[in-house]
Amino acid sequence: ETRDIIIICMLSAACLMVILCKMSTDDIILTSTFRAGMSSLAVILGIVTLGTTFIDAHLTEIKDIAGDILQTYPMLLALVLFFTCALLYSQGATTPLIIPLAVALNIPTWAILA
């Protein structure tokens, strides 16, 4: 997958920079930028990958439940988006999943845009 190749290339480049520039790894570990970056890396590679695996396994059920809720209570679109976003850890992944479903269920356009 392209994402995996990018991650491997970036981490390899960082490793080579540390080795070739003979930087002290102790100094790197103590910087706030490194700590923030490693926290982000743990979130991206750990939690998001786990969430994506879970979501992919239950995508049909999530769509069915969201569709049932939206069909009965179309004004709950914001809540459906919120909870789906919490499951996916990504607004970008939630939008293409739920908005086409809302359009197919004839949710008013103004409600989708809001």
- pTM confidence score: 0.51
Burial class (CB in 10 A: 0-12, 13-18, 19+), 89: middle
Q: Which residues have C-beta within 8 Å of that of residue 112, sequence separation ≥ 6?
A: 77, 99, 102, 103
The domain segmentation of the chain, as residue ranges, is 1-30, 43-113
Two tokens, residue 47? 């939690």
pLDDT reported for residue 97: 80
Instruction: State mean pLDDT over 56-74.
Output: 84
101 close to 70: Cβ distance less than 8 angstroms: yes
Model confidence band, residue 7 (pLDDT cutoffs 50, 70, 90): confident
Model confidence band, residue 2 (pLDDT cutoffs 50, 70, 90): confident
d(CA 106, CA 112): 10
pLDDT tens digits, 16-48: 999 999 988 888 888 999 889 888 887 777 776
pLDDT reported for residue 87: 77
pLDDT tens digits, 73-111: 888 888 888 888 887 777 877 888 888 888 888 888 888
pLDDT reported for residue 46: 74
